[in-house]
Amino acid sequence: MRVLTKDEFKIEKMRFFDKIVNGAIFIYPTDTIYGIGCDATNRDSVKKIRKIKNRPENPFSVIAPSVQWIEENCIINDTAKEWLEKLPGPYTLVLKLKNKNCVAPEVIPKTESIGVRMPQHWFSAVIRLIDTPIVTTSVNEAGKKFMSSIEDLDSEIKTKVDFMIDEGEKQGKPSNVIYLDKEEVMIRDRQSGAAYDQLQKV
């Protein structure tokens, strides 16, 4: 695994864009914590991340390349429009899909919804340039602590990743999950560490 700084990545960005669209598995910083991802349309790469995380079925979220991509591929009602206006930000919006072919089926097995993110972070501009959704999930095996710095990186995961962008220690927590695919908006407040869901009236 090659470890790069933000500046090194930007200098060689075209090379790494090619690696991503050709199936690379990589670790990247966001506005909250580090994520592990790949091109969300690449079935083989998504399968590899499922094996890395030991997460056979639960759906993955994606970082969307743009709000337009979300609008084109997800069902957007008035409430969802209000939440889209909050992007970019530390939220994962769970929306019903109108185009299930926008990601590999392995991203969202057994569900008609998808979680979408647009972090308030420079890496969002990278994804906009690549113009493809990227799997976003915490860098850890299911049930274990998420990664906040390179020192936390599990040695087993390290051997299965192509490259990492190191931005030092991240002080955030996983993004709040806003369920907009239900009759009522449900918020899973992971910023506060709450282990339960809270209903929000709309």
70-123 pLDDT, tens digit per residue, is 999 999 999 999 999 999 999 999 999 999 999 999 999 989 999 999 999 999
Percent of the chain scored above 90 by pLDDT? 74
Quick check: 196 pLDDT over 70? Answer: no
- Residue 79 corresponds to which tokens in the numbers above? 């409430």
Q: What average pLDDT does this structure show over 175-190?
A: 86
Residue 193's pLDDT is 45
Enumerate residues 6+ apart whose C-beta is below 8 A from 7. none
pLDDT score of 45 more than 60 = yes
Domain span at 155: 2-200
45/144: higher pLDDT: 45
Question: Which runs of E-coded beta strand occur in the chain?
Answer: 2-4, 26-29, 34-37, 61-63, 91-96, 113-117, 134-138, 163-165, 176-179, 185-188, 197-200
Q: What is the pLDDT of residue 190?
A: 61
Q: What percent of the chain has pLDDT over 70?
A: 93
pLDDT of residue 197: 44
Question: Residues near 166 by Cβ (< 8 Å), separated by ≥ 6?
Answer: 3, 4, 5, 29, 150
- Confidence at 194, pLDDT banded by 50, 70, 90: very low
Number of domains in the chain: 1
Sign, CA dihedral 187-170-9-158, equals negative
Q: What is the CATH number of the domain that holds 128?
A: 3.90.870.10
Interacting residues of 193 by C-beta distance below 8 A, sequence separation 6+: 173
Res. 200: pLDDT tops 50: no
141: confidence class by pLDDT, cuts 50, 70, 90:
confident
Residue 166 has pLDDT above 50, yes or no: yes
Among the listed ranges 18-32, 89-103, 153-167, 185-199, which one has the minimum average pLDDT value? 185-199
For residue 198, pLDDT over 90 is answered with no
